[in-house]
Each structure stands twice: as C-alpha cells, then as structure tokens.
C-alpha cells in the first residue's frame, strides 16, 4: 500500500483596519446599531457604482511587500456569485486571475530550521454581513427567527493564499 504525505496550502482572511468599506464610503465601525453603516453600494441597489478604497489598496501593497510578492500594476476585480442570506448582493467582489500581489514567500523557522512557505497570491475581497439567530441557544437549528446586520458587508478583506508546501 502506498504511503501518502499530507501537503497543505492555506487561505487566510485578514481584515484591513480601514476607516471605510472596500467599495463605498460607509464607516467601518463595529458595535454600531444594526444596519446603520450601509448605503446603496454595499446593499447593491440598482445604479450604485463601487469605487475601490485607496487606503485598502495601500494596505494590501504593504502586505504584499512584506511577503516579498510581485506587486502587479494592473489588477482585476470579479463578481463571485453565490447566495448567502447575509450577502445582499448575491455576489462578492473579489479577485483571482489578476490579483494585486502574487508569487511571494514567507520565511519561518520550523524545529529550529529555516523553512520557506510560498505565497501564491494576495488578493482583495469584501466581507459579508452578519447573521444572528434568535432562539434557544442562538444556533440556527433552534432559532425562532434570524436577523441580518449589513454593517460588516463590504469591509475590506485580504486573502493570503499559500502554496501547498506545509
């Protein structure tokens, strides 16, 4: 029987601490009353046009630089379509083919020896809203009803994707 070696790559979401959301001017302020930091862009109302947050782009470039990545001059955003109740657009603005950063590395020590983790890409995306289930223990299977808070919807996230070298 053949032996198998586990080889793992990791996708890590990092929330950027910006003053406003990724594609609109709504404040990123946690603990506010539900649905008070929303606008036509983060709710995907017809005619609303998203505009990338310059502070978030600067943040991802800093992360890419720290990971010794290639910083691309051109980058594309896509609509990743899926339905979640806490995703009012029914899509997430994300990146894949042409991310802000790619081909980096992270040098770490493992058991006292240097080890390099390859970075496939570092790209931008936006967070979803938040579901709160009301009922017995706050879990969906015992909930009487669910509430949605879109204050977090559109908060800038950076996804760091490693090569499968772990």
Predicted model pTM? 0.86
In tens digits, the chain (166 residues) has pLDDT values of 678 888 899 999 999 999 999 999 999 998 899 999 999 998 989 999 999 999 999 999 999 999 999 999 999 999 999 888 889 899 999 999 899 999 999 999 999 999 999 999 999 999 999 988 887 776 777 778 889 999 999 999 999 999 998 7
Q: b vs e for 70-109, b when ≥16 Cβ sit within 10 Å of the residue's Cβ? A: eebeebebeeeeeeeebbbbeebbbbeeebbbbbbeeeee
């Amino acid at each position: 029987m053949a032996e198998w070696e586990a080889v793992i790559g990791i996708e890590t979401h990092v929330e950027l601490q910006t003053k406003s959301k990724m594609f609109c001017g709504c404040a990123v302020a946690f603990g506010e009353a539900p649905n008070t930091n929303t606008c036509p862009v983060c709710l995907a109302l017809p005619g609303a046009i998203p505009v990338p947050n310059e502070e978030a782009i600067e943040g991802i470039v800093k992360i890419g630089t720290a990971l010794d990545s290639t910083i691309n001059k051109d980058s594309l955003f896509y609509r990743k379509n899926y339905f979640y109740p806490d995703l009012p657009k029914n899509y997430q603005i994300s990146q894949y083919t042409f991310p802000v950063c790619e081909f980096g590395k992270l040098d770490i020590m493992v058991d006292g020896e240097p080890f390099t983790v390859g970075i496939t890409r570092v790209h931008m995306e936006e967070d979803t809203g938040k579901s709160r289930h009301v009922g017995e223990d706050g879990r969906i299977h015992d909930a009487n009803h669910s509430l949605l808070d879109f204050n977090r919807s559109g908060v800038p996230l950076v996804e760091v994707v490693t090569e499968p070298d772990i």
